[in-house]
Every structure is written in C-alpha cells, then in structure tokens.
C-alpha cells in the first residue's frame, strides 16, 4: 500500500480562506479588525524569515499586523514594558513573542507576562492549565493544525489509539491533551520509553515530534496508520542540505494509510492556525460567537 499524502500546504490555504472570510465579516458587521502583534528580539535568521512570513500572511487575510523588532541586548524590563503596552492596546488581539529569545531573557517570565486572552501561541501557564483540564483556552498552533488535519482525514477520532512521540510543552504535551479531548486513547512516548518500536506499532495515529531526523522507520508503523510528522530537521544528503522529518518518509509511506510530508505538511499549518487563533481571540474579547472550524 502507498499512503495518502496529507497536503498541509493546501489545507493551510483553506484555513487562511476561512480566516479571511471571518475577518471580512468582523469588519463589515462589527467594525472590528483583528490585530496580531509579533515581537522579535535579536537577529536570528530563521526567526526573521518566520516573522516576515507571519506579517505577510496576516495582512493577506485582512488583519492588522504590528511588528516590533528589538535589539538583541534589549533589557528584560524594556521587553516586559512593551508586552504590557500591547496587553493594554485594544487594537491588538493577539501577541506573539518569537522564540528563542537571547539567553539573558527569561522565556517563561516573558511568555507569562502576555495576557492569556491574547496569548495566541497558547504557551501561557493559564492556557496550559485550561487545556489540560478540558476548558476553553488558546491552543498551541502546531498541535491545533495537526488535530485539524487528523479530523479532516478521519472525521471522528473517538476510540483510536494514538501515540505522541515527544513530550515538549510546545507540541507533545498539548497534542496529547487535544487527542484526549477527541476521545483517543493516548500514549506519550519519548527517549526513555522501553520498546518504543512496539509502542508505536500499536498506534492508529502516530504524531512524531521528537526533533531527531528520520528516527521513526517504516517498520515501526502499523499498516494503515495515520502519521503526522511534526519534525523539521536540516541534514546533509548527497552533498546538499535537505529538510527531513522525524519519520523516514520513504519507508513509512509504504505502510501508512496517510502521512504528512516534510516540508509541506504540518509546517504551513502553524502560521495558518496562528491567524485562526488571532480571530478567535478577537471574537472572545468582543463577546462574539467564535468562528466555526478554527478552534479545537
């Protein structure tokens, strides 16, 4: 069997189209334009590219984009003062501080200084707690995008056996919570898991988010399983730099029922879900109905 390729790029385009429609209605019916503020500290090349892409896509769906670029030696006090200003700015509905931050800045302190209602990354400790207890929260973008693709492919996920490989606060843990919320039976596996291959072979759904290039070979995958590969790893192959996931795509696609490629799978969904979260935050702050199909 050859797996169906889950096209994240195409799916992300449909999400952006939905977002643009909701933004247009908010403007027309309520005179409100959702606004996303992105804060970049320093000149990390990958972060700069990512922030530019976010800004471009924010404007394309009709939202206001506010970019704040700070020097790498910006003090913690100055960064916190900017966040406080954005927290109190009614034209800003979503705030994202691009990670990683320079080492002299406390990432946890900075993230938790963002108003939970404007925390469109879903990293604030309040949102983590709300998600973990099944309450309404802002959901981290990458797990949200992964869940959307799984729902689109399967419809109901109820009763399915899911294995999440990786226990990070950014992907692994929130992904597990979302799958539990959709009534999956969930195992979080990691580098210390005994008989990891056997654990993965039992899964109807495999979400790989461990950050190790092609760690999961095809013979770990149960026939017909759905594989969501969150990994983005740059390696050298045949004298060229290439991007690969945490799953060995070539062997996995021969046994899986469906699989996301790298690149072009989960990656494009992350920014699309950031835009979706900003619209959701805008609707909640104005006590309006939440947009359908854009939240967990």
Look at residues 274, 286, 217, 294 and name the one whose alpha carbon lies nearest to residue 251: 217
Residue of 98, 177, 229, 253 marked active site: 98
Residue of 57, 118, 119, 121 marked active site: 121
Q: Strands 233-237 and 240-244: what pairing?
A: antiparallel
Residues 6+ apart with CB under 8 A from 274: 36, 54, 94, 96, 120, 121, 141
Question: For this structure, is 98 an active site residue?
Answer: yes
| Phi-psi sector, 208: left (phi>0), alpha (psi -120 to 50), beta | beta
Residues 6+ apart with CB under 8 A from 117: 138, 281, 284, 285
Sign (positive or negative) of CA dihedral 80, 86, 88, 94 = negative
Question: For this structure, is 90 an active site residue?
Answer: no
Sign (positive or negative) of CA dihedral 61, 286, 91, 141 = negative
Tokens representing 48 are 């700069």
Residue of 54, 118, 173, 222 marked active site: 54
Question: For this structure, is 135 an active site residue?
Answer: no
Q: Decide: helix, strand or coil at residue 245.
A: coil
Distance CA 230, CA 172 (A): 10
Specify whether the CB–CB gap between 233 and 210 falls below 8 A. Answer: no
Distance CA 10, CA 2 (A): 20
Catalytic residue numbers read: 54, 98, 121
């Amino acid at each position: 069997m050859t797996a169906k390729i889950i096209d994240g790029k195409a799916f992300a385009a449909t999400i952006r189209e939905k977002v643009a429609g909701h933004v247009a209605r908010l403007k027309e019916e309520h005179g409100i334009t959702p606004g996303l503020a992105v804060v970049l500290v320093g000149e990390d090349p990958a972060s700069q590219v990512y922030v530019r892409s976010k800004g471009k896509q924010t404007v394309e769906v009709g939202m206001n984009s506010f970019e704040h670029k700070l020097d790498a030696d910006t003090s913690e006090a100055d960064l916190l003062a900017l966040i406080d200003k954005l927290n109190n700015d009614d034209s800003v509905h979503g705030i994202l501080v691009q990670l990683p931050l320079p080492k002299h800045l406390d990432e946890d302190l900075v993230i938790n200084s963002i108003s939970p209602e404007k925390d469109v990354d879903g990293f604030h400790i309040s949102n983590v707690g709300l998600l973990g207890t099944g309450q309404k929260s802002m959901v981290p973008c990458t797990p949200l995008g992964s869940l959307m693709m799984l729902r689109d492919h399967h419809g109901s996920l109820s009763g399915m056996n899911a294995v999440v490989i990786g226990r990070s606060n950014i992907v692994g843990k929130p992904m597990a919570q979302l799958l539990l919320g959709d009534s999956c039976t969930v195992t979080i596996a990691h580098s210390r898991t005994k008989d990891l291959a056997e654990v993965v072979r039992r899964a109807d759904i495999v979400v790989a988010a461990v950050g190790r290039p092609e760690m999961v070979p095809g013979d770990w995958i149960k026939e017909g399983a759905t594989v969501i590969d969150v990994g983005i790893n740059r390696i050298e192959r045949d004298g060229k730099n290439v991007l690969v996931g945490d799953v060995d795509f070539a062997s996995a696609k021969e046994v899986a029922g469906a699989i996301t490629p790298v690149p072009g799978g989960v990656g494009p969904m992350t920014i699309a879900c950031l835009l979706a979260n900003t619209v959701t935050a805008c609707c909640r702050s104005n006590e309006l109905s939440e947009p359908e199909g854009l939240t967990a």
